[in-house]
Amino acid sequence: MKSMLKKIDKMFCNYLGLESEVVLPTSVKIKNNQLTISNTESFKRHSYTQHWNEFSSTNFKQLSQTNKEKLGIAIGKTIAKNLIITFEEITIKMEKTDA
Amino acid sequence: MKISNNFTTSIHLMLRNLIDAKSTRDQIKFTSAQLANALCMPRSMITKLTHPDESKRVVNPRIDTLLKIVEFFKSDGFNITINDLLGITTKSIDVQNQKILIQDFTRKILLHSFNFKSTKKLGTIDMKVPSNSKNILALYADKDIKPFFKKGSIFIIDKDQHLEDGMLVAIVSHDSLETQIKKYHIEGNKRILKSLDHHVKEIVLMPHLKIEMIGAIIQVNAKT
């Protein structure tokens, strides 16, 4: 019975487009030496806070590129003036040395 | 600014953190009894402020008690304010309202190690940066820059950027060849370098200190 209800629930969720749970960062602040992110989850009315280290290892990877960029700008503003934070993968090109 | 719902919880945690931080920094055990002695207060006062059991903790401490505690730690080199002790948070920045900057221009930037005096360059990186300055360089953090940046983060420095209050700067102290990341503050005639880690003592810039200012940090590629 329980598994059948679960299947029906899943079907409804798929039909309504509620299958993906997206965590969106809403605000950033520094408290007691730690960067804190306030998040909202889709279809939930409450928000909750996470420390940056926890957020970066769990929810960060699921963010869209746009949200990553917005988050980087907000974190930069929180830490210092005229600072931007980016999260791109950077390739370091080694310098060629003469033989 | 906002005061946390239960500021007595904040005082209790913050005070314990400060006592622990002082022990760690000085490498000598610092106790709440020693703090009470230094403040000319009964030992029970500090015990009541830091007691792990909420029912035994003092609910509404006097403002002069808190000021004495803040003054003691400030004079000992800790960057602490009464707001920190009360758990008053800094302004929060809204994420979704941020405007994304369009940077079409990718630049090739020389990458150095944090050991800035080392002439060896680590290589080059291609990155979009919000500056047209020709004096841009990148530094690779080979260790965590506490409390925000992990090992592997890359700091982009604009050597031509005019320094303003609240900017992040890279400096090299002649005592150590390691680059340090500090926050630059202007307070009247004073130029102060504060660490991102609030537990580290601030530096008031003086000619005899021999600190070389590398430049303003305009961007950090943070390792997640």
- The predicted model gives A23-52 an average pLDDT of 77
Please give the share of chain B, as a percent, with pLDDT higher than 70.
90
Please give the share of chain B, as a percent, with pLDDT higher than 90.
33
pLDDT given at position B5: 44
Long-range (24+ apart) CB contacts under 8 A made by A64-72 are A66/B100, A67/A24, A67/A25, A67/B95, A69/B98, A69/B100, A70/B95, A70/B96, A70/B98, A70/B100, A71/A25, A71/A28, A71/A37, A71/B95, A72/B222
- The whole model's pTM is what? 0.68
| Amino acid of residue A23 | V
Nearest CB among A28, A56, A88 relative to B95 is that of A28
Q: Is residue A42 part of a domain?
A: yes
CA distance B188 to chain A (A): 18
CB B183, CB A95: distance < 8 Å: no
Q: How many residues does chain A have?
A: 99
Fold category of B106-221 in CATH: Umud Fragment, subunit A (2.10.109)
Q: Is pLDDT of B138 > 90?
A: yes
Between B7 and A76, name the one with better pLDDT. Answer: A76
Between B5 and B211, name the one with better pLDDT. Answer: B211
Q: Do domains B2-89 and B106-221 have the same CATH topology?
A: no
pLDDT given at position A17: 67
The two three-digit tokens of residue B57, written as one number: 């903790």
User: What's the rounded Cα separation, in Å, for the pair B117 and B97?
Assistant: 41
Nearest CB among A26, A33, A87 relative to B94 is that of A26
User: What's the rounded Cα separation, in Å, for the pair B143 and A98?
Assistant: 30
Q: Is pLDDT of B122 > 90?
A: no
The two three-digit tokens of residue B49, written as one number: 């402020």
Question: Sorting pLDDT into bands at 50, 70 and 90, what band is B35?
Answer: very high
Q: Which of B223, B190, B222, B195 is nearest to B205 (CA)?
A: B190
CA distance B28 to chain A (A): 23
Determine, for residues A24 and B96 on separate chains, whether the beta-carbon distance falls below 8 Å: yes
Determine, for residues A74 and B94 on separate chains, whether the beta-carbon distance falls below 8 Å: yes
pLDDT given at position A15: 78
For chain B, the structural domain boundaries read 2-89, 106-221
Q: How high does pLDDT run on average in chain A?
A: 81
Pick the CATH number of B2-89 from 3.40.50, 1.10.260, 3.30.1330, 1.10.3470: 1.10.260
Pairing verdict, β B167-173 and B211-221:
antiparallel
How many structural domains is chain A composed of?
Answer: 1
Q: Is residue A96 part of a domain?
A: no
Q: Is pLDDT of B156 > 80?
A: yes
Chain segment A53-88, per-residue pLDDT in tens: 888 888 888 888 999 999 999 999 999 999 999 999
The two three-digit tokens of residue B68, written as one number: 């004495």
User: What's the rounded Cα separation, in Å, for the pair B181 and B196?
Assistant: 8
CA B121 to chain centroid? 28
| Amino acid of residue A19 | E
How far apart, in Å, do the first and last CA atoms of chain A sit?
A: 74
* Domain region containing A29: 20-87
Determine, for residues B89 and A31 on separate chains, whether the beta-carbon distance falls below 8 Å: yes
CB B172, CB B179: distance < 8 Å: yes
Which residues share a beta bridge with B38? Answer: none
Q: Is pLDDT of B137 > 80?
A: yes
The two three-digit tokens of residue B130, written as one number: 């919000």
User: What's the rounded Cα separation, in Å, for the pair B48 and B15?
Assistant: 11
Residue A29 contacts B where some CB pair is shorter than 8 Å: yes
- The predicted model gives A8-13 an average pLDDT of 81
* A 48-77 near B (Cβ less than 8 A): 52, 56-57, 60-61, 66-67, 69-77
Determine, for residues A87 and B130 on separate chains, whether the beta-carbon distance falls below 8 Å: no
The DSSP code for B163 is P
Supply the Cα-derived Rg of chain A in whole angstroms: 19
CB A37, CB A87: distance < 8 Å: no
